[in-house]
Structure 1
Amino acid sequence: MGSFVRDPAHWLYKFSPDQWIAASLHEVRAAEAAFKMHNSRAGLAGAKRAAGMALNAALILEPNASWGRTYLDHLMALSRDATVPEAVRAACLVLLETPLPGGHVVALRTARSNERALEAARDVMAHAYAVVKRHAARAANEPGEPEKE
């Protein structure tokens, strides 16, 4: 990929890959705080958003139309993507299959299930971060550029 060009009007290019990673870190901290306040709905939604925001960073660098546009689209696509590590696919499934509290079915929430959702989000975020850093390293060592240490 060439250099990043910001487009404030575009859903994906309004932030750089590094800014998407930073936004995902902020979102996962908000999810942690929501779980601590016993707001499981906000915590789980925040964990899913954090993972999706980080995946936006990877999507900029490795465009893939099958990932869709929404955070949930990204998670669904990666849960079935054999090119990503199994741990990432499994983490996506955890986030997708963890039921939101409320509705017709009562989902028992525990600190352990909340932490499982947060860990799944962190695993997906780590994968996206690795993609961003891998591309940054390649860009830093492109032909014509002196190798950076």
Structure 2
Amino acid sequence: MQDEHTATLLDYYTRHQASTQWRAFLTALAEEFETQLETAQLRELMSRIGVRFADAHPPGPCATLDDLASFFNATWSSLDWGFVHLVEQEEYLAIAHFCAPLAAFGEPAARWTPAFLEGAYRQWLHELGASALALHQVDTDERHALEFRLAKAA
């Protein structure tokens, strides 16, 4: 559980992380996208963009979860895109991505913009040999993190 000061700092960081020059543009872009496409189509589009991103930033050898976390964090840190915690559970691997600058697209876009990360993570994990497993975003109460889970396909 976050204390009040931590939550305030994360709120501030989330609001100011994306460059001012891009916020109005990205919000307008998101609004136009939403007039042309349904949420499922927007999620698919963002997922495909995530795959392209992952292809442009291929992982090196990742023999352990620590290697994987290091790769994810080095990639996102180099772009000021937040950080990742990996948590191995009995039934799945949780990928918690904190402080992604997706809020720059505006609040309504929060339904579909995380699919960018989902597509990137899915592509990287596929390249590393986890193609038999399924990755999907899950809703959590944590407003500063997006969670994705890698598990056996249903």
Q: Report TM bin, short chain.
A: under 0.3
Higher relative contact order (CA 8 A, sep 6+): 2
* Structure with more strand by fraction: 2
- What is the TM-score with the length of structure 2 in the denominator? 0.27
- What is the TM-score with the length of structure 1 in the denominator? 0.28
* Structure with more helix by fraction: 1
Structure with larger Rg: 1
